[in-house]
Amino acid sequence: MPAAAATTTSDRIHISACPVCGTRDFRPFVTVGPYSVVRCPSCRLAITNPQPSDRELGEIYGPDYVLVENDPVGEAMVLRSKRATADHYLDLLAAAGVPSTGKLLEIGCGAGNVLRQAAARGFDITGLEYSPYAAERARKTLEGRGRILHGEIGVLAAERDAYDVVVLCDVIEHVRHPADFLRDLHRLLKPGGTLLVVTPSLDSWSARVLGSRWMEFKAEHLYYFSPSTISRQLTGAGYERIALHSGTKKLCLDYIAAHFKKYPVSVVTPLVSFLHALTPAPLSNRLFSIVASGLVALARKPGAPA
């Protein structure tokens, strides 16, 4: 069969109603490669519609999907940024009164850096990862601590009321049915348990400034939330006490330049490359806090913790 026939537009998934408010009248928003992104005129949720087929997503989530540098210096740079950002998320949990002695589950754990930092604080850790390549990397990162499961959310169906904390870092925007997904996680949490969600925000300054060139417009991102739409999605799935924070990340210029080299954005990539070339090495490797494109939502499952 010719390669062009492997995936057709008829394989793509059409969304008939907004998963936040139920509206069926979408408005054109932006185009991301061959995919159209529409927006709900009622709640302002943005949706890739039609969505990539399973085959197309499988091709995207290959072994090279996660940013990895092939040299020891570059790899150390990525790890410093990832782990410092993970510590920031864990600090938010601690500030919200979540003890670090419970069971923590991360969905879409990638290379396992959040889990590694959580284990260092005392959490009993479990990671679930859809990509077999990333799951294997996470096992190497954790060096035998906790457990890493490969598959989809159904793998955890029997673990009802099992976790004190569930973490989603840049995951919810990839999920086909976010409302059902959040309800599944609700069942996994203990009464009084905490969900932490990190996702790109359409209300971020980078989204407003870059418009259609926003770096978060990607084929694999199926939904684009804002503080209001993620709050409504969480409330509809049964969560309460929702607290929203700016999506701060710990980055260095070396990491930012590597990211935009792998995921080029017109105007942004040349500008970042130019600045990177002018910056002395000690400065380009220094971590700093940046609020760029995301938000962090903390939400509780009703009930008192055990």
Q: What's the confidence (pLDDT) of residue 106? A: 98
Q: Would 189 be classed as within a structural domain? A: yes
Give yes or no for a contact between 145 and 125, defined as CB atoms under 8 angstroms apart: yes
Helix 178-188 to helix 227-236 angle (10° resolution) is 60
Residue with tokens 């995921």: 263
Report whether pLDDT(37) > 60.
Answer: yes
Q: Residue 246 falls within a domain, yes or no?
A: yes
The mean pLDDT value for 248-256 works out to 86
Spatial strand order of the sheet with 35-39 comes to 27-32, 35-39, 46-48, 223-224
| Residue 166 domain flag | yes
Q: Is residue 100 part of a domain?
A: yes
Residue 282 domain-assigned (yes or no) = no
How many domains does the chain fold into?
1
With 50 as the cut, is the pLDDT of residue 1 above it? no
Of 109, 171, 157, the closest CA to residue 134 belongs to 109
* Residue 304 or 280, more confident: 280
Specify the range with the lowest mean pLDDT, choosing from 32-41, 72-81, 222-231.
72-81
Q: What is the CATH number of the domain that holds 220?
A: 3.40.50.150
CA 145, CA 141: separation in Å to the nearest integer?
A: 9
Is residue 272 domain-resident? no
Give the chain's largest Cα–Cα span: 58
Is residue 285 scored above 50 in pLDDT?
yes
Tell me 149's DSSP state: E
List, as one string, the DSSP characters of 28-45: EEEEETTEEEEE-TTT--
Distances (CA, A) of 306 to 7, 66, 126, 187, 258: 49, 37, 20, 15, 44
Residue 273 included in any domain: no
Name the pLDDT band for 256 (thresholds 50, 70, 90).
Answer: confident
**Residue 58 within a domain:** yes
Query: Is 107 a residue whose pLDDT tops 90?
Result: yes
pLDDT given for residue 4 in this prediction: 34
- Predicted confidence band at 3 (pLDDT cuts at 50, 70, 90)? very low
Question: Is the pLDDT assigned to residue 66 strictly greater than 80?
Answer: no
User: Distance between CA atoms of 201 and 210, rounded to whole angstroms?
Assistant: 13
Range of the domain at 157: 8-252+287-300
User: In the 8-state DSSP scheme, what is residue 27?
Assistant: E
